[in-house]
Structure 1
């Protein structure tokens, strides 16, 4: 495992404090023996593993590489940032963001493995909780990596290669890539064990039993195990720990810290000292009135056409149009007296607000990984695929009612022009979960194409990325293959 563990000489830790704060950056090269054998240090070491997820190399790339390949966004110009290649599907074998995500992900996995090897299950409830939390982190990272570097589960998971499954610390190992099926099996095993061990009442900044069940629901949905996906989503919904925020509060959902939001199940918690300003996730989506942020990635015309079908949709509040200003600083008007939308390189400026303005800081956000609305939509999709149309539409209608669309609900006798219940569910997922790293994966795992027929820097107009295309996945970082010849590169074409 040289290429994975060479980044850490020891266990990644944060400075030990009574609260095990996630607000401090981890540091490396701590002598292992004293830490691993000292039970009092295990909570701090676990906090260090959470902090590795918060590191920009993981968080920024997880959310950008997961969202930018979708048809919900439009990049308005070329950039030297590697995000350009994730957006255009012009993937490189030495792409900076893939290397960063890979290295930081496996750094977190290794940190979890070091602890899991020394923490005895059953020693105490507190130790069981820590084991569960580290299992959740390990599962989440493996899930993040396999959907980035491995093909969708619906496409020959027994033979397609995913990523190395690392569950033991061995600095001399040279692991091969496991199959997609094997990676998902390990994710399920880790989350199943984690949910059995955790009974805590932690905030959404930490792993909990409910978070493990929620990630299991998503994992099973990706695997096509619809019965299990529905069961776990239902368990989270009916447990009653979380509730959908009220319609009136929905526009402010992402401006609140995750710990002040009853709908959020798990998020990567950020405070003011974690604000990465220009390097934040939101900086590509939004420019504040004070000029903070690049504001170069906009909501696509494709997405706007869908949400604009119903001007009453409260979720339109997550978009902000920018109008062209005249010399007096006022909104410019066309010959008919309509405001003129500003453009960048011919792409209309529609800012995306889901990663901005937490606590009134333009670039601050605690990006949400799992939330209750997704559970309703997982249950809906699973039921649609199992032929339980009425149940599927009922869950869609819960989400639509919250979004202010109570007068536009679906029923078997009123499909509003849709050909199937699955089509209804996928469009509702697109509306509700936009920009949260779901859309491209939703299309590809359902054997559907990404289609871009709107302005942007995509290499062709229109651009179609077929679900069978080699570029559906990113390349394994070339630097990793040079260090470990057992790693096989994804096909070039």
Structure 2
């Protein structure tokens, strides 16, 4: 792990990762990169570092909490101690974003933006050097490149969600997307422009389809198979991309492919709640969960519990479930048991009072970042079936998820679109979906319980459904156009 961190730092300093971070190239830099990536061992070490960077970028509170916070699934806990004990305030890392008032000059999300393009540039370096390896077989090189391609596509997709309006914001998706980098920045100055959203999705899909073709049987990296991209998890990402695009036939077909051929089954009702509580192990239906980084003694150095965890009444994190979310569950729904209710001292009318807060059980102990699991594929298939006039199939998939949770089954297809939206909100909460689901369905934002933002509601369409490109980056790149209103 220490070597992975060193490797990531090496790339940060020496390879000009950000698409618009045009630092001067140090003498000898190109030789250093050549030496590092001249053989299979070096490339695999670079790939390990790439996964480390990706996991850290997703696990950080900015991205981990963003979609659920903006959509209304999350509220905040009170300050634990000190002069502000019991007061509730938004965390500094998301304070501006939370009020839909992020500032380009001091953007809360600049670390995510820069980190994402760091990841993309590292992936591009691996893609450029891997074909030249003399000590790797063609199958090994294809596997390495498939993983790097997938990570490149994934990072671009996440950037598009945050910095571009939804795919159908304009009829032909001709509105501004993001910069899509397919070459590394190793030397010289480059001033790339943002592509349209249509162009960005075309490139994402191309990368993923190429990767799916190139995957071999297993990664060359050590570690749990569920923590590394493979053909199944890449298909899951592709299904998600098609869903976000509104390409319903492809979304249905790819999600169905994962469901029927991946060899992964839905977790059973009997141990669904218990599986989420397992220490160090993901839920059985996982398609991809990034492992938590660990020190030399095997102890987790950081995990998702640092965003959502509860240890005691004097040791807990900032983000908990809003009653807007909790009240959606039926009384006997097993998923209500996925919340840990704790009384915390809160200032109410100037007096410290015990108030109940609901922490998610999904991310206690040493929980890793849940990237893809099979339940999402059922929900994608259901929505795609409905949009292609197969309402009965859609209802059957929703009922599969509801039956597993001991929720009442749907008996007709009335209001099925709304039911699918709500089922995604309940099943996938705290997994980074709600705000993006709201945007792609062209819905308004309404945050009620616990909302302390200057703005708690937004009417679609709104320029505030996307964040500003950090000023640092637009200043460096004259072709990097800012989002409107920032």
What is the TM-score when the length of structure 1 is the normalising length?
A: 0.82
Q: Cα deviations across residues 154-184 of structure 1 (Å, max 9, x unaligned)? A: 1126332121000002342111111111111
User: What secondary structure does 2:316 align onto?
Assistant: coil
Q: Distance in 2 between matches of 1:10 and 1:297?
A: 36
How has the CA–CA distance of structure 1 residues 176 and 257 changed in structure 2, closer, same or farther, with 3 Å as cutoff? Answer: farther
User: What secondary structure does 2:169 align onto?
Assistant: coil
1:388 maps to 390
Listed as ranges, the matches of 1:1-80 within 5 Å are 7-10=12-15, 31-56=32-57, 59-76=60-77, 77-79=88-90
Structure 1: which 4+ aligned runs deviate by more than 6 Å?
none
Listed as ranges, the matches of 1:79-98 within 5 Å are 79=90, 81-98=92-109
Paired residue total: 437
User: Is the 1:11–1:30 contact (alpha carbons within 8 Å) kept by the matching residues of 2?
Assistant: no
1:222 maps to 244
1:365 maps to 367
Please, which runs of 5 or more residues in structure 2 have no aligned partner? 1-9, 18-28, 78-87, 220-224, 346-351
User: Is the 1:264–1:370 contact (alpha carbons within 8 Å) kept by the matching residues of 2?
Assistant: yes
Pick the aligned partner of 1:315 from 306, 317, 335: 335
Q: Cα deviations across residues 234-254 of structure 1 (Å, max 9, x unaligned)? A: 000001421111212211333
Matched, 1:137 2:137: no
Matched, 1:125 2:143: no
Q: Cα deviations across residues 130-155 of structure 1 (Å, max 9, x unaligned)? A: 01000010011001101000110011
Please, which runs of 5 or more residues in structure 1 have no aligned partner? 13-27, 326-339, 358-363
C-alpha displacement of 1:290: 6.7
Matched, 1:441 2:464: no
User: What secondary structure does 1:387 align onto?
Assistant: coil
Q: Cα deviations across residues 404-438 of structure 1 (Å, max 9, x unaligned)? A: 22xx11132xx5xxx42111111111110011111
User: Is the 1:243–1:263 contact (alpha carbons within 8 Å) kept by the matching residues of 2?
Assistant: yes
2:362 maps to 354
How has the CA–CA distance of structure 1 residues 193 and 435 changed in structure 2, closer, same or farther, with 3 Å as cutoff? Answer: same
How has the CA–CA distance of structure 1 residues 324 and 189 changed in structure 2, closer, same or farther, with 3 Å as cutoff? Answer: closer
C-alpha displacement of 1:351: 1.7
User: Is the 1:68–1:86 contact (alpha carbons within 8 Å) kept by the matching residues of 2?
Assistant: no
1:485 maps to 478
User: Is the 2:167–2:198 contact (alpha carbons within 8 Å) kept by the matching residues of 1?
Assistant: yes
1:399 maps to 401
User: Is the 2:255–2:377 contact (alpha carbons within 8 Å) kept by the matching residues of 1?
Assistant: yes
Q: Cα deviations across residues 314-345 of structure 1 (Å, max 9, x unaligned)? A: 111221222368xxxxxxxxxxxxxx9933xx
2:84 maps to none
C-alpha displacement of 1:392: 0.3
RMSD, aligned α-carbons: 2.7
1:331 maps to none
How has the CA–CA distance of structure 1 residues 263 and 29 changed in structure 2, closer, same or farther, with 3 Å as cutoff? Answer: farther
C-alpha displacement of 1:123: 4.9
User: What secondary structure does 1:323 align onto?
Assistant: strand
1:474 maps to 467
User: What secondary structure does 1:47 align onto?
Assistant: helix
2:424 maps to 429
